[in-house]
């Protein structure tokens, strides 16, 4: 009986690795990390295969394990401290809270379908990757994975106020980076 479970697991590895990897890569945007998460998924599945009750398909069960691995990864990353010391705000605003003239947002209205542009996607990815890890994760959860703020706060174990500050600061940095790398002539 134990032999069949191992064979089953080997078949699952062969059948589902590609789908699991694609999903992990979509969620974390890092090929090496995605591979590690898929490997961790199969290791966890191997340890728990005797508890698999076939209430769902093996693929659904594996995706559930993978999603938990992804959430755990983001939780660990968010708990790493970020030194803010108002440097972000001082880069954009003067001591009275007004925009610095050279940092004022420019209009992006002339660009209709930026997200369809491969070159813009590359700039956006570089700008996202340049954010501190906690900011990057928060932005991805909110805007790319369309999670509600309450869910993000719960997953990352942060307060709504902290999330709002992180998102606000991240958007300022993203806007600056995009303007410097895409809109600057």
Say if domain 87-183 classifies as CATH 1.10.10.10: yes
Q: How many CB atoms lie within 10 A of CB 167?
A: 18
Domain boundaries, the chain: 2-78, 87-183
Residue 120: which of 179, 185, 45 has the closest Cα? 179
Per-residue pLDDT of the chain (185 residues; tens, 9 = 90+): 333 333 477 888 888 899 999 999 888 888 899 999 999 999 998 888 878 777 778 888 899 999 899 888 887 776 655 444 455 556 666 666 666 666 666 555 555 666 777 888 888 888 888 888 888 889 888 888 888 989 888 888 888 888 888 988 888 888 888 888 877 64
Residue 138 · residue 170 · CB < 8 Å: yes
Class of domain 2-78: mainly alpha
């Amino acid at each position: 009986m134990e032999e069949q479970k191992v064979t089953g697991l080997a078949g699952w590895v062969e059948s589902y690795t590609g789908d699991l990897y694609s999903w992990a890569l979509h969620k974390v945007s890092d090929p090496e990390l995605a591979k590690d998460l898929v490997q961790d998924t199969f290791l966890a599945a191997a340890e728990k295969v005797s508890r698999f009750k076939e209430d769902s398909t093996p693929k659904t069960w594996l995706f559930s394990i993978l999603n938990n691995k992804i959430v755990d990864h983001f939780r660990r990353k968010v708990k790493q401290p970020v030194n803010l010391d108002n440097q972000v705000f001082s880069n954009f605003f003067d001591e009275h809270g007004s925009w610095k003239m050279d940092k004022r947002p420019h209009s992006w209205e002339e660009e209709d379908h930026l997200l369809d542009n491969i070159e813009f996607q590359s700039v956006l990815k570089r700008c996202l990757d340049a954010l501190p890890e906690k900011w990057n994760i928060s932005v991805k959860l909110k805007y790319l994975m369309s999670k509600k703020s309450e869910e993000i706060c719960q997953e990352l174990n942060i307060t709504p106020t902290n999330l709002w500050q992180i998102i606000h600061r991240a958007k300022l940095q993203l806007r600056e980076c995009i303007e410097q790398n895409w809109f600057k002539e």
